[in-house]
Amino acid sequence: MGHPRQPDPRDYPGVVTTLVTILAVLLPGGLTFSLYKHLNAPDPDTAVALPTTDPTPEPAQPSPSENERPGSPIDDDEFGDWNFRLDSVTFKAERVGGWTYDSCAPVDRQGVLAKNKCEHAVQLAYSAYRGHLTAVQVIMSFPTVKAAKATAKHLANSSRAVKWRRDKILGKYVYGKIRSGATKRYVLLTVVTADKTAQAKATRFHHYLHTDHSNYFLFRDSAVPD
């Protein structure tokens, strides 16, 4: 018997906002509040500046996607347009690209991902505010939480270990930063660029996009032991 398909995040107005609503009914208030508080936490601006050059060729075209299910390899089809709502906070971004890779080799620049036994990777590209803000997100899966944390620790010091599609960001920008971090067995790296028109909105957009998609992985494989 086949596995039931997971709910697709693009069916919802923000991945975690819907989960917060459900958890308010199913779970004790403490956990629900912690997720809500995390999304609304003041942004400490931990993003690092975008490197100015990258002579590395763009990653090769990936293989076709498979339907996602708990414990299955990550797939770019799990993420569609980003429509986020939480109280008075709203963001919208159109997904303009998605790539699924059978391995992490296409996004591994320095061998760090291979060293930590990275298994699969996807890339997502978004455009918002009529093209005045762009985002590229690389999501990588690892066999253990320990391996994911080790990779995230390295990326906190140098984002150059990961290759991402520079053809999907703005050529000229006044905001250009990278966020990265681990959630369970997954590591996310989110790049955002914005011109002067969207500069004032870029920091909060960056924070919420990265956090929303990171928190998705708190629940994706909940039935699968870490």
Determine which of 15-19, 82-86, 97-101 has the lowest per-residue pLDDT on average: 15-19
* pLDDT value, residue 69: 53
Residue 151 confidence (pLDDT) above 90: yes
Give 18 or 172, the one with higher predicted confidence.
Answer: 172
* pLDDT value, residue 222: 72
Of 118, 102, 96, the closest CA to residue 62 belongs to 102
Round to whole Å and give the CA distance between 36 and 53. 37
| 11 alpha carbon, distance to own chain's centre | 17
Residue 135 near residue 80, CB atoms below 8 Å = no
Sheet of 120-128, strand order: 48-49, 175-183, 186-194, 133-141, 120-128, 89-101, 82-86
* pLDDT value, residue 218: 92
The token duo for 174 is: 């006044």
Residue with tokens 């400490």: 44
What is the per-residue pLDDT across 49-71, written as a single tens digit (0 to 9) for each? Answer: 665 444 333 433 333 333 445 56
